[in-house]
């Protein structure tokens, strides 16, 4: 296959991916707009007109933002690829580091990815500002300051560099030192690294951004302890995160593996929910653990890592592929970038499969919570979360099918009502 044909095929697939995403977002925006903020009949007793009006306005604002952001973030990348500018950058860096006495190949790759990261950050900067200090502030959700926002960005960049650059060096070593089966060793080691990071994240990385404090003693703590004992759930603890430092959105999540697993509650969640509702949310998170959802997702991610590295090893020997993206020589950073560019457009049709799998997990966790904490409490907690986050009450069915990792509110409430026992 000629380089020009490869490039045109990539541009066509990437364009199809973009257009399909924009089309789905447009359907979703039109669905919300057509509803006119009217409360769905099934929620007439649970959602006020004011809450529905806010959810409608907020959903439309977020969707309009997405309709603008998606093409403006994607089209520059496609233009750079079509013009061969990635290859020109790599060649220029190759000339720059040619006289380096130590690790010129790694220096070239590191500088290449640092340059791309900086370019991506600059491109996304206005969208991040608009989202945080425009839309989120307008609807009363944003509580972060410019200083905190800047520090978050700097911390994120530093952590990415401290983790990413050593992993890049390790991958390049595997490519050079382990022969044709380098991908097998690399996939195994990187899978172990990902597991290690999932353990380290709640203990080391997350506290760099938020403060996590043990849930204070009281009736809530006592009831949570009783619930955990009754369900046979062992963990390091329940922690409260100062989510209100950045946003008024509410959430809860399960993190960590093995002995360091913990449940994290946003302080905004605790301040707005009743104890029964909080227990239902906790039971939902425990349900994910009891149904082994985290373990299953970890296993699938490991399988995908092996498949990804195997595909990468095959692509490495395809000379026309480098030329298609403007690279004059087959460098390691070139094939890594090309793989990153083509993986999305060539697999976007798998999105609804993973979304459906995730929704199945959510149904199972909801059912577990409904039995453990009561159907009324679980339904009330979902309604409260929807209200506090002004979530979309009128998603388009096709958009939800393709993108939603969680069932819609009405689907979840209907499923909870059918739970027996």
Rounded Cα–Cα distance for residues 60 and 36 (Å): 11
Tell me which residue of 236, 257, 244, 275 sits closest to 377, measured CA to CA. 275
Rounded average pLDDT over 393-420: 96
Tell how strand 237-241 and strand 252-255 pair up: unpaired
CB atoms within 10 A of CB 250: 23
Tell me which residue of 16, 14, 35 sits closest to 24, measured CA to CA. 16
Rounded Cα–Cα distance for residues 124 and 72 (Å): 9
Look over the chain and give the mean of its residue pLDDT values, rounded to a whole number: 93
Phi, psi of 240, deg, nearest 5: -105, 125
**Which of 45-54, 123-132, 201-210, 313-322 has the weakest average pLDDT?**
201-210
The tokens describing 227, both together, are 């619930």
| pLDDT tens per residue across span 136-195 | 999 999 999 999 999 999 999 999 999 999 999 999 998 988 888 999 999 999 999 998
Q: Quick one: pLDDT band at residue 257, thresholds 50, 70, 90?
A: low
Beta bridge partners of 230: none
Beta-strand runs (E) in 111-221: 212-214
Rounded Cα–Cα distance for residues 185 and 407 (Å): 38
pLDDT surpassing 80 at residue 259: no
- With 0-12 / 13-18 / 19 or more C-beta atoms within 10 angstroms meaning exposed / middle / buried, residue 202 is buried
| pLDDT tens per residue across span 271-328 | 889 999 999 999 998 999 899 998 899 999 999 999 999 999 999 989 999 999 999 9
Rounded Cα–Cα distance for residues 39 and 386 (Å): 13
Map residue 293 onto helix, strand or coil. helix
| Letter string b/e over residues 163-191, b meaning 16 or more CB atoms within 10 A of that residue's CB | eeeeebeebbebbeeeeeebbbbbbeebb
Tell how strand 262-266 and strand 237-241 pair up: parallel
pTM, two decimal places:
0.91
Which residues are known to be catalytic?
A: 285, 366
Contact 369, 289 (CB under 8 A): no
Q: Quick one: pLDDT band at residue 258, thresholds 50, 70, 90?
A: low
């Amino acid at each position: 296959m000629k380089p020009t044909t490869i490039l045109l095929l990539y541009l066509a697939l990437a364009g199809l991916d973009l257009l399909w995403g924009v089309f789905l977002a447009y359907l979703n925006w039109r669905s919300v707009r057509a509803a006119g903020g009217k409360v769905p009949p099934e929620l007439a007793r649970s959602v006020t007109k004011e809450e529905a009006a806010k959810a409608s306005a907020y959903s439309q604002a977020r969707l309009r933002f997405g309709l603008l952001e998606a093409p403006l973030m994607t089209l520059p990348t496609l233009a750079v690829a079509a013009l061969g500018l990635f290859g020109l950058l790599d060649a220029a860096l190759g000339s720059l580091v040619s006289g380096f006495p130590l690790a010129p190949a790694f220096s070239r790759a590191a500088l290449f990815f640092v340059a791309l990261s900086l370019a991506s950050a600059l491109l996304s900067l206005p969208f991040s500002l608009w989202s945080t200090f425009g839309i989120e502030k307008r609807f009363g959700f944003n509580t972060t300051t410019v200083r905190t926002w800047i520090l978050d960005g700097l911390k994120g960049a530093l952590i990415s560099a401290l983790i990413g650059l050593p992993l890049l060096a390790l991958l390049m070593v595997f490519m050079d030192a382990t022969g044709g089966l380098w991908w097998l060793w690399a996939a195994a080691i990187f899978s172990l690294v990902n597991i290690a990071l999932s353990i380290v994240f709640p203990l080391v990385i997350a506290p760099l951004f938020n403060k996590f404090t043990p849930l204070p003693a009281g009736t809530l703590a006592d009831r949570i302890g009783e619930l955990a004992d009754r369900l046979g759930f062992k963990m390091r603890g329940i922690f409260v995160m100062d989510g209100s430092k950045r946003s008024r959105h509410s959430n809860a999540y399960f993190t960590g593996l093995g002995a360091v697993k913990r449940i994290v509650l946003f302080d905004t969640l605790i301040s707005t929910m009743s104890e029964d509702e909080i227990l239902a949310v906790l039971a939902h998170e425990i349900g994910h653990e009891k149904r082994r959802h985290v373990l299953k997702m970890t296993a699938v991610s490991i399988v995908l890592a092996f498949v990804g590295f195997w595909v990468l090893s095959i692509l490495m020997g395809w000379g026309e592929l480098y030329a298609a993206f403007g690279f004059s020589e087959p460098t390691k950073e070139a094939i890594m970038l090309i793989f990153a560019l083509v993986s999305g457009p060539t697999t976007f049709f798998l999105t609804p499969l993973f979304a459906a799998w995730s929704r199945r997990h959510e149904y199972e966790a909801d059912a577990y919570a409904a039995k453990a904490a009561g159907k009324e409490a679980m339904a009330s907690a979902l309604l409260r979360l929807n209200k506090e986050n002004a979530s979309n009450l009128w998603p388009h069915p096709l958009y939800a099918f393709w993108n939603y990792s969680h069932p819609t509110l009405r689907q979840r409430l209907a499923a909870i009502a059918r739970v027996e026992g």
